[in-house]
Amino acid sequence: MRSRGRDDAGDDRPVVVVSDLHLGRRGMVETAAELSPLVESASALVVNGDLAELLMNRWADAARRELDQLRDRCAAAGTRLVVLAGNHDPTLTDRRHLLLADERVLLTHGDAVHEALAPWSDAADVIRDRHREVMASLPESRRDSIEGIFEACREAALAECEAEGDLGPATTPLGALAKPWKVARILSFWWSQPRLLDRLAERHFPTARIVISGHSHRAGVKRVGRRTIINTGCFGVPGPALAAVFDREGLVVRRVERRGRGRGRGWSLDDVAIHREPGIMVDRRELPDDREPLRASA
């Protein structure tokens, strides 16, 4: 795969935002090779949290290996890779949000709206208690700051690993059905997350009229008050995976489909637009150009 050799000004490919790849994990994106069609279609690929399954011992080695492969593929394609931290890779980068398009578009993973991060987790109490502990330890001036909230999220995400050795088993449909309380908490979070993201934006990013998140694995586009809340879902169950695509006309939301078989299969953008926001422009030149390597271990 050769580099396209384009500079930022001459690259007319769109900026593509996705989330929750869980790279290296069975049933999600197992290999970076599967992402080649998506990488090659984008001038910049922004992964809005949970890029790699770094905190689950079963998949951590594969996640680190495939993360390296993804960086190499992006470099070869001339595609800028921009990563935000999620609750499954909280130490991968310090970046937890981006404010783009003249501060009209907020990107953040979506775990910061609940002190248990993932209230359906078996370790929700451990996570919540650590979040509260960190928030209480902060100076009063930081307790209600977005920086303080993100710090508490990072430490809360690590609390389960400190207690149990890793994040524990992944939540599956069958596993959820075996615990009715878990289903109830998942459905409650699906219902409340758009409203909670609107509240987060109103308090800390009031100029944002579009919020793009992931985390819940529940894809969709909802209008909450004056804001559009976009959840890009996940690359696995329950799906689908969506992408927020910023092209020359504005923002368009498209499905990301897995096509082909065997070694030839890969994830690529569908042609059908699910949602449009004309005139909301993001150029890859306004995105960070990271020179430091991502931290693949805590």
Tens digit of each residue's pLDDT (9 = 90 or more) over 105-152: 999 999 999 999 999 998 999 999 999 999 999 999 898 899 999 999
Q: Which residues, 6+ apart, have CB-to-CB distance to 57 below 8 Å?
A: 165, 166
- Phi and psi at residue 25, to the nearest 5°: -95, 135
CA 84, CA 180: separation in Å to the nearest integer? 32
pLDDT at 39 over 60: yes
pLDDT band at 171 (very low <50, low <70, confident <90, very high): low
Average pLDDT, the chain: 91
pLDDT at position 250: 97
Contacts 24+ apart (CB under 8 A), 259-267: 259/37, 263/33, 265/34, 266/33, 266/34, 266/35, 266/36, 266/37, 266/38, 267/29, 267/34, 267/35, 267/37, 267/38, 267/235, 267/241
Q: Specify whether the CB–CB gap between 116 and 128 falls below 8 A.
A: yes
pLDDT tens digits, one per residue of 110-123: 999 999 999 999 89
C-beta atoms surrounding 1 within 10 Å: 11
pLDDT tens digits, one per residue of 180-233: 898 999 999 999 999 999 999 999 999 999 999 999 999 999 999 999 999 999
Length of the chain: 298
pLDDT at position 1: 39
Number of helical H runs and strand E runs in the chain: 7, 11
pLDDT at position 295: 76
**b (16+ CB within 10 A) / e for 44-58:** bbbbbbbbbbbbbee
Assign residue 279 a region: left if phi > 0, alpha if psi is -120 to 50, beta otherwise?
left
Sheet strands (E) in 74-136: 80-84, 97-100, 105-108
Indicate the pairing of strand 250-259 with strand 227-231.
Answer: unpaired
SS3 26: coil
- What is the amino acid identity at position 260? G
Distance, CA of 115 to chain centre: 18
Tell me which residue of 248, 88, 99, 96 sits closest to 161, measured CA to CA: 88
pLDDT at position 2: 39
pLDDT at position 9: 65
pLDDT at position 185: 95
pLDDT band at 20 (very low <50, low <70, confident <90, very high): very high
pLDDT at position 6: 57
pLDDT tens digits, one per residue of 250-295: 999 999 999 877 667 899 999 999 999 999 999 899 999 876 667 7
Assign residue 297 a region: left if phi > 0, alpha if psi is -120 to 50, beta otherwise?
beta
> In the chain, which ranges are continuous DSSP H helix?
36-40, 57-77, 124-137, 140-143, 146-164, 173-177, 180-204
H, E, C per residue of 167-228: CCCCCCHHHHHCCHHHHHHHHHHHHHHHHHHHHHHHHHCCCCCEEEECCCCCCEEEEECCEE
pLDDT at position 10: 79
Residue 292 burial class via C-beta count within 10 angstroms: exposed 0-12, middle 13-18, buried 19 and up: exposed
DSSP character at residue 116: T
pLDDT at position 96: 97
